[in-house]
Structure 1
Amino acid sequence: MKKITIALVLLCYAGLLYAQNKNTENEIRALEQIEVKAVLEKDSAMLLKLWHKDFVVNNPDNVVVFPGKTTLDRPVLRQSRASFAREVEQVIVNGDVVFSMGSETVIPSSGDNVVGQPIKRRYTNIWIKENGTWRLVARHANIICQNK
């Protein structure tokens, strides 16, 4: 009887952990789309809420971007986009750290010779939970080379 009770308790605990991870995954997926909208609209107030104060990016231009004095210091806010879509393919929850990975398609509306042409990228975002709030702390994005 004791073994059955222990097995049931462990099973319930595993189910609870799965439910918590699923809730966290859904929350991160929603935050990913909020960030896309904020970048597209250059909503620095929202980005300040989403980005950690030490947010660092290894961007598609092969440059590591460290936090500046304001969110407006970020190259991402100096670029104009006709559209920006992100497909979250995988979310890995490990306590207060979450890895989100997938693909993005950006269509620039200004720039050199890529205006209007879709740019496909792969990305990894790392979120941490501080004081009950998820913040994006690190990001890597790279352009997918076109096969010719």
Structure 2
Amino acid sequence: MKALPPGVLLFLATGVAFGQQGPANAALQEQIRKLDMAHARAIFRSDAAALDSLMDDDVTVNHPTNRIVKEKKELLQLMKQGVIRYTSFERSPETFLFFKDMVVVMGSEVVVPAAGAPNAGKKLQRRYANVWMLQGSKWRLTVRHANNICAGI
């Protein structure tokens, strides 16, 4: 697995203090927003080719099913098995944090898992954070965290 840049955990914990915000990043924010939404569409459609293009081979996902998925191959296998499959998937990016060769997107998602998937048929609200890193000339999803919001919170 590729190592994150030194200090990335500090940056994630204190992103607003260190992240560059403002109009200088408007074009990059729009580019990353499009990639983030393309990722959501690819998950919804179970589009392995699109996911292959968007994600790093060593992508690590803290998955809402309470497991850590450590590579793209494993994630695509979960899709084939029907563990990751939805009848509805809405993503709303809310915050973008900019760092050298890295953008963190945080927001909310509303999903309805399909038959055969955990929580099938239930409308689930969750929070997510996606870490996009510049690799050569291409932005790739390298880290994702998604967690279901408990009722009553």
Q: Shorter-chain-normalised TM-score: which range?
A: 0.7 to 0.9
SS at match of 1:104: strand
Aligned to 1:22: 26
Return the offset for 1:34.
Answer: 0.5
**Out of 125, 147, 152, which is 1:142 matched to?**
147
Aligned to 1:45: 49
Moved more, 48-57 or 60-69: 60-69
- Tell me the matched-pair count: 131
SS at match of 2:103: strand
2:89 counterpart of 1:88? no
Return the offset for 1:24.
Answer: 0.9
Please tell me the residue identity of whatever aligns with 1:59.
Answer: H
Aligned to 1:105: 110
2:129 counterpart of 1:124? yes
Query: Taking every aligned residue pair, what percent have the same amino acid on both sides?
Result: 34
Q: Distance in 1 between matches of 2:132 and 2:72?
A: 19
Return the offset for 1:117.
Answer: 2.0
TM-score by length of 2: 0.77
Question: Is the 8 Å Cα contact of residues 47 and 71 (structure 1) preserved in structure 2?
Answer: no
Any unmatched runs of 5+ in structure 1?
1-16
Question: Is the 8 Å Cα contact of residues 42 and 51 (structure 2) preserved in structure 1?
Answer: yes
**Structure 1 residues 127, 113: CA separation in 2 closer, same or farther (over 3 Å shift)?**
closer
**Out of 127, 133, 138, which is 2:138 matched to?**
133
Question: Is the 8 Å Cα contact of residues 48 and 71 (structure 1) preserved in structure 2?
Answer: no
SS at match of 1:122: strand
4+ runs of 1 displaced by more than 6 Å? none
Q: Distance in 1 between matches of 2:52 and 2:111?
A: 22
**Structure 1 residues 120, 36: CA separation in 2 closer, same or farther (over 3 Å shift)?**
same
Return the offset for 1:18.
Answer: 5.1
**Structure 1 residues 76, 44: CA separation in 2 closer, same or farther (over 3 Å shift)?**
same
**Structure 1 residues 52, 38: CA separation in 2 closer, same or farther (over 3 Å shift)?**
same
Aligned to 1:36: 40
Question: Is the 8 Å Cα contact of residues 82 and 108 (structure 1) preserved in structure 2?
Answer: yes
- Computed over aligned residues only, the root mean square deviation of the Cα atoms, in angstroms, reads 2.2
**Structure 1 residues 30, 65: CA separation in 2 closer, same or farther (over 3 Å shift)?**
same
Any unmatched runs of 5+ in structure 2?
1-20
Question: Is the 8 Å Cα contact of residues 60 and 142 (structure 2) preserved in structure 1?
Answer: yes
